[in-house]
Structure 1
Amino acid sequence: MIDLLVAGGGPAGLATAIHGALAGLEVVVLEPRPTPIDKACGEGLMPTAVRRLEELGVPVAGRPFRGIRYVDAAGGLRAEGLFRAGPGRGARRTDLQAALAGRAAALGVRVLARRVAEVRQDEHRVSAAGLTARYLVAADGLHSPVRRGLGLSAPVVPGRPARYGLRRHYAVEPWSDLVEVHWSARSEAYVTPLGPDRVGVAVLTSEQAPFDVQLTRFPLLSARLPQAPEAPVRGAGPLRQGAVTRVAGRVLFVGDAAGYVDALTGEGLTLAVTAAGELVRCVSAGRPQEYERAWRELTRGYRALTGSLLWARARPALARRIVPVAARLPWVFTRGVNLLA
């Protein structure tokens, strides 16, 4: 019998498959989309994510970056925090997904072009997409159909503004070896160096407007970008998605499907790859129920810091002070950056 049936062939699902194969489990991934899979993403890997991927034997192409720079969109005030544990990596989402898929294939993981619709389980097995396994891992993204189908999506909190992500690539030489985060009154723009002649610009916002309109909020950034962008815009959201549990019988959730706060701190891929390892550890030990506690401990800092920044972002008087305070207290900002790293 299959040990792990993984719904979703993005980074979280493939990292789970690789962890499982390295642990000696039989793993099958269900993914209807052909490789490489693209999605709206900041495309910046924190140093811990780079290390975790290297430990899995996954080569990460791209452009190194040394830290994070906050930039006030109105006045140009800036704060910088450099990594102490080695560089991060700006990597195109398609390159990362293809590298993970290649490593999984080399380990003998089968990928089937199937979509998970109905999930059935008992105390011994779980069935989905015509296959039966010991466990099903739902790694099917922000709006996880498996999570929704099992009734495990947390209710939306009324009055909380929804946030969305938009991303576009530009053919321009990176002007910095840092990831820049430009802060405007209502949104942030993340600039990630991806190669010698390419940057990615991701906008996080609660305002539903086209990308070009969003970009006008950042005049300092707009002035650096060519008028003709290299690629179309990709979008995602609403970003905040809750899950009532990470373990539901023989179904376990990883990556965005396990619950997501926001992309503001850039930790999503780090947490996905690390949580995948914890999930496989718990399953291999025959104690899958322990994954819930492991996930909560692993993500506690991310949830607290991201939630605090979002709380401040939603209050205009505080939001205006985020970059000035970071600039005035560089040691605090650097410590925060390294906690994330």
Structure 2
Amino acid sequence: MTSPRPTPTTSRATDVLVVGAGPAGSAAAAWAARAGLDVVLADAATFPRDKTCGDGLTPRAIGELQRLGLEDWLRSHTVNQGLRAHGFGQTLLLPWPGGSLPDWGSAVARTELDDHLRTVALDSGATGIDGARAVGVRREGERVAAVDFRGADGATFEIACRWLVVADGVRSPLGKLLGREWHRDTVYAVAGRSYVDSDMSDDPWISSHLELRDEQGELVSGYGWIFPLGNGSVNLGAGTLATSKRPTDVAIKPLMQTYADTIGKDFGLSGELRMPTSALLPMGGAVSNVAGPNWALIGDAAACVNPLNGEGIDYGLETGRFVAEHIASGTGLGEAWRHTLVEHYGESFSIARRLAGMATQPKVVSALGPVGMRSDWLMTLALRWMGNLVDDADRDRAARVWRWAGARSMASDARPPFS
């Protein structure tokens, strides 16, 4: 294993500078290093570190982790075969559809997952720098020549780069310095997660509750989840959807406790909720200025989060690989990178955030929820669409309908994804 590089006291230069060592940044660093480039992977935190997340790994994420050579490592953790959907008096078992993607999923706490992915990047040849916060950029025209950092001791230093990959999360402070703007007119989420002991820690199904109610018993426009971790505990979380026109005033941590109290007996929950945290999630490519001539935003920084289920790890891993391929091939970034994001995610994000926007209205949820939950076929279709389990290789009717709807949705967007 390559040891992390301590915070430097002098400036240095590299081919590729990746800021942010979550799944997106670590994937980008690993693939760029494997392509023979000199790579520095910098993060403000010291690893291992925690991250607010549901910890779930969908088949799409599994596919990317397999590409990185991590299948055996994944299978040493919990393996799940699909989704158990609850709501409106119904419970449905919905297996992962398979097709061009793996037919299994997993869940790994982000404290472990991110640390392991960072290690993979370092073992691939990247140099890691801990405790280094990006605080400024030096430009040469429209290009980024270097990024200024501040170490844990307060000392500042500079890293010059030919290419800059910005993977610093949903708030993306470095992205903001480069002009990133988040548009809240489309749907976003407020989500929280916690850990709790459970008799169903080895359950082969992840669970989602589509009928989420607050302390007063009122229906909330959101969802709750239980993701078994195989270590005696589960990840329990809840999220609610909102837009600038319909902002949410739900307190997430009390909502998680109400959710836990409601389902506790069914899932064998015991003890208090541990490590409760919450986060605000831009979704569906609802950001502009995602790239410049030699820099690009990826993963959460580019709002690559599924508007229908809050999933972002798969997109982070994918965009990390895509951006490394751009750089290694000499394709360039700038408009070419924005085009890549639109090509891969534009249509699905557009229709997904349109549907999720409807779900911000509890009356719509209460009217359509019972109808959907009465049909295994509809919910299986919804699982595939909601989980973005339609791959570029899929050509079946469900895939064609999803692409058709996405293309028409995007054509009518006032602000299409990534614009």
Same fold, TM-score > 0.5, yes or no: yes
Alignment check: 8 A CA contact 1:62 1:92 kept: no
Q: Could you give the per-residue CA deviations for residues 235-267 of structure 1, whole angstroms, max 9, x where no partner exists?
A: 111544832132122220001001245564243
The alignment status of 1:182 with 2:209, answered yes or no, reads yes
Partner residue in 1 for 2:115? 98
Structure 1 residues 260 and 281, CA gap change in structure 2 (3 angstroms):
closer
Which of 315, 325, 330 is the aligned partner of 1:271?
Answer: 315
Q: Could you give the per-residue CA deviations for residues 63-88 of structure 1, whole angstroms, max 9, x where no partner exists?
A: 1111122211xx43233321132210
Aligned equivalents of 1:174, 1:301: Cα separation in 2: 37
Structure 2 unaligned residues grouped into runs of 5+: 1-12, 149-157, 213-218, 241-247, 390-419
Greater Cα shift, 128-137 or 295-304:
295-304
- Aligned residue for 1:108, secondary structure, equals coil
Alignment check: 8 A CA contact 1:79 1:323 kept: no
Structure 1 residues 200 and 214, CA gap change in structure 2 (3 angstroms):
closer
Q: TM-score, normalised by structure 1?
A: 0.90
Which of 68, 77, 80 is the aligned partner of 1:56?
Answer: 68
Structure 1 residues 66 and 336, CA gap change in structure 2 (3 angstroms):
same
The alignment status of 1:127 with 2:146, answered yes or no, reads yes
Partner residue in 1 for 2:412? none
The alignment status of 1:193 with 2:231, answered yes or no, reads no
Equivalent position amino acid for 2:229 in 1 = L
Residues matched between the structures, number: 337
Partner residue in 2 for 1:282? 326
Which of 184, 190, 196 is the aligned partner of 1:164?
Answer: 190
Aligned 1:145-294 pairs, distance under 5 A: 145-157=173-185, 163-174=189-200, 176-183=203-210, 184=212, 185-186=219-220, 187-205=222-240, 206-209=248-251, 211-217=253-259, 220-223=262-265, 224=267, 226-229=269-272, 231-240=274-283, 242-260=286-304, 264-289=308-333, 290-294=336-340
**Structure with larger RCO (C-alpha < 8 A, sep 6+):** 1
Aligned equivalents of 1:307, 1:287: Cα separation in 2: 30
Greater Cα shift, 257-266 or 31-40:
257-266
Q: CA RMSD in A?
A: 2.4
Q: TM-score, normalised by structure 2?
A: 0.74
Structure 1 residues 266 and 210, CA gap change in structure 2 (3 angstroms):
closer
1:13 CA displacement? 0.6
Structure 1 unaligned residues grouped into runs of 5+: none
- Aligned residue for 2:271, secondary structure, equals coil
Equivalent position amino acid for 2:168 in 1 = D
1:54 CA displacement? 1.9
Aligned equivalents of 2:209, 2:180: Cα separation in 1: 35
1:20 CA displacement? 0.7
Greater Cα shift, 256-265 or 282-291:
256-265
Aligned equivalents of 1:263, 1:202: Cα separation in 2: 16
1:116 CA displacement? 0.9
Which of 42, 59, 63 is the aligned partner of 2:54?
Answer: 42
Alignment check: 8 A CA contact 1:181 1:188 kept: yes
1:161 CA displacement? 7.6
Larger Rg, first or second structure (1 or 2)? 2
Aligned equivalents of 1:326, 1:306: Cα separation in 2: 17
The structure with more strand, counted as a fraction of residues:
2
Q: Could you give the per-residue CA deviations for residues 150-181 of structure 1, whole angstroms, max 9, x where no partner exists?
A: 22213433xx7863111101111327422211
Partner residue in 2 for 1:330? 376
Equivalent position amino acid for 2:192 in 1 = L
- Aligned residue for 2:229, secondary structure, equals strand
Alignment check: 8 A CA contact 1:247 1:288 kept: no
- Aligned residue for 1:117, secondary structure, equals strand
